[in-house]
Structure 1
């Protein structure tokens, strides 16, 4: 089973590409193997998420895979920081496509015990593959040229599943999608991007980057007031809708799919607590931490 993923993407080239991107993002790109892949966020000075990406470190470039519509603002940000760096930032969103092959599918050429980033041959087409957890267990993201889509899709195992089906599965598993769940503008620790969260995207041992001081303070004090939970409720509601309890706002809900959503919620609400979204009753379900 596989699903098309609405995407945008950047390709960063030049002799300083790894150090340059590493100095902007929350995770440790320098420490990744080549080829390798690390999830990461790009923050503002208040430590809030501007973009979430998966950074692929390759021999000739750094490929940044982003949610739909996110490449252009990230490219503008990166170009502002180019001073003496030998780098070029290319928006390749129009040229590439991405599908996610669900866990358990037998994908030709993929090595389950191999690196997180691999190159495969599918239907005579070379594709970039990355190990990505979108539904609770790792599947494989495939990135390929749009003009070669027919050959790639014909080589995929199983049937196509719509994006709504994938959203329902990831919500049930407590996996956030930063853009689709309207979680930009929040702190990474609040929405599952910390080391014990379902989508770890931070290194506390790398060098400085925009927002790093806030991250260091949160690590030292451990005092983020919100965390990621799942809400169970009939819905629907729009991503970013306010969550209320006892007449006060206690968080924000994500995309409604499959009978609920992930949500950024104040930590004092216990498992099973009653709340509301747009006047509709919901139940809070705390997520287990992920080592």
Structure 2
């Protein structure tokens, strides 16, 4: 099975590309192999998420894969920080497409025992694939040139599965999608991006970046007031809908898909708590920390 992923993307080139991108993001790009894949966030000075991306370190560039309509804002931000750095930032959204190949599907050319990021030939086109968990188990994000889409899609295993089914699977697994769940503007530790979360995207041992002081303070004090949970409820509700308990706002819900959504919720609410989302009943399920 495979699903088209609404995407945007940037290509960063130049001699200083790795150090430059590394200095802007929350995770450790320098420690990644070549080719390699690192999930990361780009924060504001208050430590809040502006964009989430998956950064691919390659021989000639750093490829940043983002959700739809995110590349323009990140490109503008990166260009503001170019001073003496030998880098160029190019928006390649119109040139590329992405699908997620679900776990258990054999993709021709992908080496199951290989690295997190791999480049290979598929249907006469050079493609880039990364091991990405979108459903509770690792599948593959496959990136390819838009002009080769017909041939690439014809070579994929199984049938196309709608995005709604992928959203339902990730919600059931407790995996956030920062853009689709309307979680931009939150702290990474509140929405599952910390080291023990379902989508770890932070290194506390790398150098400075925008928002790093807040991240260090949170690591030292461990005092984030919210965390990521799963909500079960008939819905539907919109991503970003307020969650209330006893008449007080206690969090915000993500995109409703399948039987519920992920949500950013105050930590004092226990497992099994009954809440309201946009006036509809829902039940809280805590997400087990990942090792």
Normalising by the smaller structure, the TM-score range is over 0.9
Query: Which sections of structure 2, spanning at least 5 residues, go unmatched?
Result: none
Deviation at 1:14, TM superposition (A): 0.3
Deviation sequence 1:11-61 (CA, Å, 0-9, x none): 000000000000000000000000001000000000000000000000000
Q: Is 1:27 aligned to 2:27, yes or no?
A: yes
Alignment partner of 1:115 is 2:115:
yes
Aligned residues: 291
Q: Which runs of 4+ in 1 moved over 3 A?
A: none
Written as runs of structure 1 = structure 2, the 5 A alignment for 1:89-128 is 89-128=89-128
Q: Structure 2 matches for 1:230-249, cutoff 5 A?
A: 230-249=230-249
The residue matched to 2:283 in structure 1 has which SS? strand
TM-score scaled to structure 2, two decimals?
1.00
Aligned residue for 1:272? 272
CA distance in structure 2 between the partners assigned to 1:245 and 1:216 by the alignment: 31
Once residues 164 and 120 of structure 1 are traced to their aligned partners in structure 2, the CA distance between those partners, rounded to angstroms, is 29
**Corresponding residue of 1:175:** 175
- Aligned residue for 2:48? 48
Q: Secondary structure at the residue paired with 1:272? A: coil
- Provide structure 1 residue ranges, at least 5 long, that are not aligned to the other structure: none
Q: Report the Cα offset of residue 121 of structure 1.
A: 1.4
1:230-267 Cα deviation digits (max 9, x unpaired): 00000011100000001100000000000100000000
Indicate the residue corresponding to 1:262 in structure 2: 262
Query: Residues 1-291 of structure 1: matches in 2 within 5 Å?
Result: 1-291=1-291
> Structure 2: how far apart are the matches of 1:144 and 1:175?
25
Give the C-alpha shift of residue 279 in structure 1: 0.9
| TM-score, structure 1 normalization | 1.00
CA RMSD of aligned residues (A): 0.4
Deviation at 1:278, TM superposition (A): 1.1
Q: How far has the Cα of 1:124 moved from its partner? A: 1.3
Measured after TM superposition, the shift of residue 112 of structure 1 is 1.6
